[in-house]
């Protein structure tokens, strides 16, 4: 039998790659692993809503039933609070960043989307958690907004958890990408996908094609080319699931700008940057059409950006189309839209 390597063992082994590591980052990663096991359990119970009660109502025992995304947010915050290694968090569920009590001297901040793919939560389709870890740049004391508004290239670790037919956690600390599958019988994430690499030439495209008429002519041309070449088309509508498939099978995941949403839909800090870090570490690309996602200036916590990520052959082609005219490069040329 092959030796099982659990996530906790793997994190400790890898800590040795960093000569002056103190174990704080390892502790944080383990805490996120723990929170995601609990979230996975709650997500799996979601099908029992008729028995345990609908979110926003009271269950049979008179307890109020929380929405899953709110519960996931609180679980992550409380696991990070216990760790003592994180001085603050920012997440999709909170308007502003949240300093962590009694941890004001901790070195790290964490940003996350606790449960991404909200439209899929109630219909038993894959959803996910996304996280990004940064070293704080402010001095000791309460964390500051600037600790969170760092470029994606400054991430020290990032990852995602996909709650799918099985639960998987995939993460990077900038030395490759590794994936772990939750063995629920022993309650451990076990290394199942070592050193993940995205295929360099993908042949699947993933976009909400229902918005075709709202895309710029360049994006429409790209979609037309994909259809002409009879590429495969897949779109779950949960970014984590679509990116996870792209990472394993190759292809391109896109959420471009439209006239009504000139910055696209997806959030730079806790959706795009962490997944872009993983994609690049796996040998892929992540772009807003003209710039590397990881180098976009962050000015707001909930900033959005158009995104194209995955196999280099397809991301390069989108960039080529969008950059044909220099003025076309910005915001996917929304001004040229009908």
- Site residues, ligand AHM (CB under 6 A): 92, 113, 116-119, 208, 237-239, 242, 255, 265
Query: In whole angstroms, how close is the CB of 261 to ligand AHM at the nearest point?
Result: 9
* Cβ-based nearer residue to Mg ion, 150 or 238: 238
> How many residues sit close enough to Mg ion to count as binding (CB under 5 A)?
2
For the bound state, the minimum distance from the C-beta of residue 136 to ligand AHM, rounded and expressed in Å, comes to 25
Q: Which helix or strand (DSSP H or E) is residue 255 part of?
A: strand 252-255
How far apart CA 89 and CA 143 sit, in angstroms, is: 9
The pair of three-digit structure tokens given for residue 124, joined into one six-digit string:
């038993």
Q: Phi and psi at residue 169, in whole multiples of 5°?
A: -115, 130
User: CA 179, CA 244: separation in Å to the nearest integer?
Assistant: 10
Residue 37 or 245 having the CB closest to ligand AHM? 245
If you ran DSSP here, which 8-state letter would residue 87 be given? Answer: E
Give the helix/strand (H/E) hosting 38.
Answer: helix 24-45
Picked from ligand AHM, Mg ion, none, the partner binding residue 280 (CB below 5 to 8 A depending on kind) is none
User: From the CB of 118, what's the least distance to Mg ion, in Å?
Assistant: 7
For the bound state, the minimum distance from the C-beta of residue 2 to Mg ion, rounded and expressed in Å, comes to 36
Order of strands across the sheet that contains 98-99: 98-99, 86-91, 108-116, 127-135, 157-163, 167-172, 177-183, 188-193
Residue 55 per-residue DSSP state: T
Nearer to ligand AHM, 22 or 119 (CB): 119
Least distance between ligand AHM and beta carbon 70 (Å) = 13
| CA pair distance 26, 261, nearest whole angstrom | 38
Our CB check for ligand AHM shows the closer of 78 and 208 to be 208
Q: Of Mg ion, ligand AHM, none, which one sits near residue 262, judging by CB under 5 to 8 A according to partner kind?
A: none
The entry of ligand AHM, Mg ion, none near residue 147 (CB within 5 to 8 angstroms by kind) is: none
| Sites for Mg ion among residues 106-135 (CB under 5 A) | 113, 116
Residue nearest Mg ion, Cβ-based: 116
DSSP labels for 284-323?
A: -EEESSSSBGGGPPP-STT-B--EEEE-HHHHHHHHHHHT
Output the smallest distance, CB 112 to ligand AHM, in A: 11
Select the binding partner of residue 10 from Mg ion, ligand AHM, none (C-beta < 5 to 8 A, by kind): none
237 binds, among ligand AHM, Mg ion, none (CB under 5 to 8 A by kind): ligand AHM
Which residue in this structure is represented by tokens 């997440």?
A: 91
Smallest distance, Å, CB 186 to ligand AHM?
30
Q: Residues of 79-88 as b/e, b for ≥16 C-beta within 10 angstroms?
A: bbbebbbbbb
Tokens representing residue 182 in the block: 């939750």
CA distance 42 to 247: 26
Partner touching 238 among ligand AHM, Mg ion, none, CB below 5 to 8 Å by kind: ligand AHM
- For ligand AHM, the closer of residues 169 and 239 by Cβ is 239
Q: Contact residues for Mg ion (CB under 5 A)? A: 113, 116
């Amino acid at each position: 039998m092959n030796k099982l390597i659990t996530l906790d063992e793997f994190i400790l082994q890898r800590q040795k790659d960093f000569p002056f590591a103190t174990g704080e980052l390892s502790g944080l990663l383990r805490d996120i692993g723990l929170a995601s096991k609990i979230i996975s359990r709650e997500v799996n119970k979601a099908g029992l809503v008729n028995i345990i009660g609908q979110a926003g109502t009271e269950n049979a025992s008179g307890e109020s039933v929380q929405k899953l995304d709110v519960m996931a947010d609180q679980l992550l915050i409380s696991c990070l609070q216990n760790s003592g290694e994180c001085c603050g968090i920012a997440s999709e569920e909170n308007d502003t960043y949240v300093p962590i009590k009694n941890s004001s001297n901790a070195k790290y901040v964490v940003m996350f989307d606790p449960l991404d793919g909200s439209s899929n939560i109630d219909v038993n389709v894959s959803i996910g958690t996304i996280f990004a870890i940064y070293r704080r740049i402010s001095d000791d004391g309460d964390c500051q907004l600037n600790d969170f508004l760092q470029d994606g290239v400054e991430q020290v670790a990032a990852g995602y958890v996909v709650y799918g037919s099985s639960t998987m956690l995939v993460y990077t600390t900038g030395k490759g990408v590794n994936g772990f599958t939750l063995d629920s019988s022993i309650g451990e994430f076990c290394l199942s996908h070592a050193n993940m690499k995205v295929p360099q030439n993908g042949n699947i495209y993933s976009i909400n094609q229902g918005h075709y008429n709202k895309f710029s002519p360049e994006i429409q041309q790209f979609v037309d080319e994909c259809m002409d070449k009879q590429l495969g088309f897949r779109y779950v509508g949960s970014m984590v699931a679509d990116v996870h498939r792209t990472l394993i099978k190759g292809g391109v995941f896109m959420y471009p700008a439209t006239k009504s949403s000139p910055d696209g839909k997806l959030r730079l800090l806790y959706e795009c940057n962490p997944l872009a870090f993983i994609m690049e570490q796996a040998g892929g690309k992540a772009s807003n059409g003209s710039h590397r996602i990881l180098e976009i200036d962050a000015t707001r916590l909930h900033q959005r950006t158009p995104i194209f990520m995955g196999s280099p052959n397809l991301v390069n082609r989108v960039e080529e189309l969008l950059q044909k005219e220099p003025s076309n490069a910005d915001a996917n040329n929304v001004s040229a839209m009908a």
